[in-house]
Structure 1
């Protein structure tokens, strides 16, 4: 008998949960969780998926692709137009590492807290 599991939440460590939640809210259009605060903020998706952002003292951002501070997890977002999505996210405060393994198919960006995420052609 297999175990039935449904992904319900993804939580990222960061120094400023409200700021990181605002970045992802602007990027995705997800709804802010009504109980978000300075220690833990979140976004809700209509199907129930929750993306959380928790404050960690002395947070140190991962360094992609360097593994001195490994990424440990990253998110992928499908987009119709890589260039348009990249431009918009950079305007919102994302960063773009020099290392881009396959820019024609996907883009590696970093959120304002340093977490790498990918834009993939949908």
Structure 2
């Protein structure tokens, strides 16, 4: 029987950079295994750990294109969408879509992390 989800692993070219981004974004800490520099985890925030895994020849997903599909994305709850957007962008995120510009009732916005993985900031 499966007991629980242990981590979400994201492929990337630079696990150090990606782990630092998520640690800062989520208020977590980077956990490295000295024996394996190709796998770095982010712990210490509410939720399951995020692992950043080096992949040779990594190609970031395209959004909304499908030549290199996203396959998955992360959603994060926030209290202050504008404030957290500003912070995410200062850490290296990029805007993929300002859904509120298209749908005024939308309570989320779509970004890419420094490795190109889509993620959403959502107000609930």
TM-score normalised per structure 1: 0.87
Contact map agreement 1:65 1:99 (CA 8 A) in 2: no
TM-aligned CA distance change 1:111 to 1:46, over 3 Å: closer
Structure 1 unpaired stretches of 5+: none
Instruction: Say if 2:117 is the partner of 1:118.
Output: no
Whole-angstrom CA distance in 2 between matches of 1:65 and 1:89: 20
The CA deviation at 1:63 is 0.6
Aligned to 1:78: 77
Whole-angstrom CA distance in 1 between matches of 2:118 and 2:45: 24
> In structure 2, the residue corresponding to 1:118 is in which secondary structure?
strand
Whole-angstrom CA distance in 1 between matches of 2:9 and 2:2: 21
Instruction: Say if 2:12 is the partner of 1:10.
Output: no
Whole-angstrom CA distance in 1 between matches of 2:79 and 2:18: 24
Whole-angstrom CA distance in 1 between matches of 2:117 and 2:109: 14
Deviations 1:91-111 (A, max 9, x none): 111000146364631000000
Q: Which consecutive segments of 4 or more residues in structure 1 shift more than 3 A?
A: 45-48, 98-104
Deviations 1:12-58 (A, max 9, x none): 00000000000001100112114266411111136782210000001
1:30 pairs, out of 13, 28, 40, with 28
Q: Could you say what the CA RMSD is over the residues aligned between the two structures, in angstroms? A: 2.1
Aligned to 1:88: 87
